[in-house]
Amino acid sequence: MAEEQEFAQLCKLPAQPSHPHCVSNTYRSAQHSQALLRGLLALRNSGILFDVVLVVEGRHIEAHRILLAASCDYFRGMFAGGLKEMEQEEVLIHGVSYNAMCQILHFIYTSELELSLSNVQETLVAACQLQIPEIIHFCCDFLTPWVDEDNILDVYRLAELFDLSHLTEQLDAYILKNFVAFSRTDKYRQLPLEKVYALLSSNRLEVSCETEVYEGALLYHYPPEQVQADRLPLHEPPKLLETVRFALMEAEVLQRLHDKLDPSPLRDTVAEALMYHRNESLQPSLQGPQTELRSDFQCVVGFGGIHSTPSTVLSDQAKYLNPLLGEWKHFTASLAPRMSNQGIAVLNNFVYLIGGDNNVQGFRAESRCWRYDPRHNRWFQIQSLQQEHADLCVCVVGKYIYAVAGRDYHNDLTTVERYDPATNSWAYVAPLKREVYAHAGATLDGKMYITCGRRGEDYLKETHCYDPGSDTWHTLADGPVRRAWHGMATLLDKLYVVGGSNNDAGYRRDVHQPHM
């Protein structure tokens, strides 16, 4: 008795702390679930505590009922849903092969699944029958790299049979990536029309030119030798030609096609595409489904500028930043105009270079402007500004491009010009109240905001807002830092001011978020 009292005294808990947050702690083991699985597997390997026998293809497999019920909806309904199997010692499993059932039980006890070409199909069928999403996903992922033009129709049927949308998406991706080669196979013509129509309508269809889509559409309806011989009855165009974006085809190809067609709906469609090419200056206002690029890839582009090492010429390079790789790469644009300190804007997926200067010795402000069309990899000179602007700010608000202030290397500017792509013309709008150059701008909620910049030799921290509805400028609160030659961007309904330089601290790396 004395020993028990001594032990109790030694084990007496410390006084409970008064702070309410120190009363208890919750601990969580990252190894517990795996240790539990190892214990269950040990019971299975030792043949201990089995309480149910699964009968599959006439063969018996012993298991633990509670683990099966915890593993998937199928067994949960069977063993915990009030069904007769709750009381049965032997349970007959239909629609599943013995080998697949062994595979699935091994996964349930170990979380491991070994797949091969010889067992993946029966394992997938069993997983769908037993409603085990993880195994279904593993089987689909295993199948995808093995898909080719010989087996793709069989895999499509399997995906359709069990409503495997993830697998269907992978099969679609295979055809989209290999369309040109696949469209010349017999398997292509065995696909359902609605499936091919959806694939040819996709922006993810990988082709080098739209003519390949046109040929692919014809190859579904006509034998290859007939398409190659160009002997096709197109007075009633086949359904798949609706998916062809004729405006993306080269004008010369369209003209040849138009000349050989008899009067028909297809000839009218080709004529509309030719009209698009002939109205080059108005193309940005003629955008629609027929002119949409077949790509979902988005990137940052850069054009021209001054070389970082001494040079007597400006750069004519065109580069893009791949956001997935974080790398700048050249793209195969025709040579960009040799300009620096220009404004750049994107409208309707055209890139506009506005003003700038083109002389590395002394600089000379420019009024000329260009537009780059990624659809046909071409530059087009649009209407010039009404006066020269360099070190300007360019923003898109609605359907217009605004060129704001800057300098002409004789004077700092207050003037603001607005470009209308529908008329290919510039017009003056309300000027700034004071001159500014080397500023930056961005658009938010239909209004244009510009920040900082320089006036003469002074660095500024001003903020101004332009309302196109009333054609008025408003002065807002100053920013925290004077800067120029910086950047601005809009992201998730917020404005950001990035980097730049000033005469106090040189180049800046900070990011400021103005509160509007």
Query: How far is it, in rounded angstroms, from Cα 34 to Cα 316?
Result: 60
Question: The CATH number of the domain where 366 resides is what?
Answer: 2.120.10.80
Task: Tell me the pLDDT band of 375, cut-offs 50, 70 and 90.
Answer: confident
- Nearest of 478, 475, 367 to residue 426 by alpha carbon: 367
Q: What is the pLDDT of residue 478?
A: 93
Tell me which of 119, 146, 173 is where a domain ends: 146
Residue-wise pLDDT tens digits, 231-246: 788 878 899 999 999 9
Which range has the worst mean pLDDT, 135-144, 308-317, 365-374? 308-317
Residues 194 and 140 in one domain: no
| 220 touches 188 (CB < 8 A) | yes
Residue 331 covered by a domain: yes
More confident residue, 229 or 132: 132
Residue 28 covered by a domain: no
More confident residue, 136 or 85: 136
The tally of domains found in the chain comes to: 3
More confident residue, 411 or 324: 411
Residue 472 covered by a domain: yes
Residues 256 and 325 in one domain: no
Residue-wise pLDDT tens digits, 401-433: 999 999 998 899 999 999 999 999 999 999 999
Side-chain half-sphere CA neighbours of 274 within 13 A: 14
Residue 411 phi/psi, 5° resolution? -140, 150
| 453 touches 437 (CB < 8 A) | yes
Q: How far from chain centre, in Å, is Cα 114?
A: 33
Question: The CATH number of the domain where 56 resides is what?
Answer: 3.30.710.10
Query: How far is it, in rounded angstroms, from Cα 338 to Cα 359?
Result: 9
- Nearest of 142, 145, 170 to residue 156 by alpha carbon: 170
Q: What is the pLDDT of residue 180?
A: 96
More confident residue, 339 or 431: 431
Which range has the worst mean pLDDT, 110-114, 135-139, 329-333? 329-333
Residues 142 and 241 in one domain: no
Say yes or no to pLDDT of 440 above 90.
yes
Instruction: Tell the burial category of 253 from Cβ atoms under 10 Å away from its Cβ (0-12, 13-18, 19+).
Output: middle
- Nearest of 464, 457, 454 to residue 433 by alpha carbon: 464
Say yes or no to pLDDT of 364 above 90.
no
Helix axes 165-177, 133-143, angle to 10 degrees: 20
Residue 365 covered by a domain: yes
Say yes or no to pLDDT of 384 above 90.
yes
Task: Tell me the pLDDT band of 298, cut-offs 50, 70 and 90.
Answer: confident
Query: How far is it, in rounded angstroms, from Cα 394 to Cα 437?
Result: 12
Say yes or no to pLDDT of 18 above 80.
no
Residue 329 covered by a domain: yes
Instruction: Tell the burial category of 332 from Cβ atoms under 10 Å away from its Cβ (0-12, 13-18, 19+).
Output: exposed
Q: What is the pLDDT of residue 335?
A: 66
Say yes or no to pLDDT of 509 above 70.
no
Query: How far is it, in rounded angstroms, from Cα 71 to Cα 75?
Result: 7
Say yes or no to pLDDT of 173 above 60.
yes
- CA distances 103 to 50, 58, 139, 151, 359, Å, are 18, 17, 12, 24, 73
* Cβ neighbours of residue 249 closer than 8 Å, sequence gap 6 or more: 209, 210, 211, 214, 273
In DSSP notation, 292-361 reads --S-----EEEE----SS--SS----EEEEETTTTEEEE--PPPPP--BS-EEEEETTEEEEE--B--SS
Residues 268 and 308 in one domain: no
Task: Tell me the pLDDT band of 312, cut-offs 50, 70 and 90.
Answer: low
Residue-wise pLDDT tens digits, 80-93: 888 888 889 999 99
Give kind and range of the element (H or E) at residue 43.
helix 32-46
How confident is the model over 54-60, as a mean pLDDT?
96
Residues 82 and 191 in one domain: no
Sign of the dihedral through C-alpha 457, 463, 467, 473: negative
Q: What is the pLDDT of residue 40?
A: 87
Residues 316 and 266 in one domain: no
Q: What is the pLDDT of residue 227?
A: 87
Residue 8 covered by a domain: no
Mean pLDDT of the chain: 89
Residues 276 and 193 in one domain: yes
In DSSP notation, 484-506 reads BS-EEEEETTEEEEE--EETTTE
Residue 130 covered by a domain: yes
Tell me which of 128, 146, 164 is where a domain ends: 146
Q: What is the pLDDT of residue 281?
A: 87
Q: How far from chain centre, in Å, is Cα 34?
A: 37
- Nearest of 74, 54, 76, 56 to residue 66 by alpha carbon: 76
| 162 touches 124 (CB < 8 A) | yes
Residues 309 and 438 in one domain: yes
How confident is the model over 239-258, as a mean pLDDT?
95
Residues 320 and 422 in one domain: yes
Tell me, what amino acid is at 379?
W
Say yes or no to pLDDT of 9 above 70.
no
Say yes or no to pLDDT of 514 above 90.
no
Which range has the worst mean pLDDT, 225-229, 345-349, 501-505? 501-505
Tokens 């890839």 correspond to: 297
- CA distances 439 to 388, 461, 464, 482, 498, Å, are 16, 10, 11, 11, 11
Residue 27 covered by a domain: no
Residues 326 and 425 in one domain: yes
Q: What is the pLDDT of residue 5?
A: 61
User: Residue 159 CB: number of other CB atoms within 10 A?
Assistant: 21
| 209 touches 199 (CB < 8 A) | no
Tell me which of 246, 273, 291 is where a domain ends: 291
Domain of 140? Answer: 33-146
Q: What is the pLDDT of residue 16?
A: 60
Helix axes 152-161, 165-177, angle to 10 degrees: 160
* Cβ neighbours of residue 307 closer than 8 Å, sequence gap 6 or more: 313, 314, 315
Residues 380 and 443 in one domain: yes
- Length of the chain, please? 516
Q: Which two tokens stand for residue 461?
A: 């921290």
Question: The CATH number of the domain where 250 resides is what?
Answer: 1.25.40
pTM above 0.95, yes or no: no
Which range has the worst mean pLDDT, 17-21, 110-114, 210-214, 431-435? 17-21
Which range has the worst mean pLDDT, 144-153, 193-202, 217-226, 352-361? 352-361
Q: What is the pLDDT of residue 12?
A: 62
Residues 310 and 280 in one domain: no
With pLDDT > 70 as the criterion, what percentage of the chain qualifies?
90
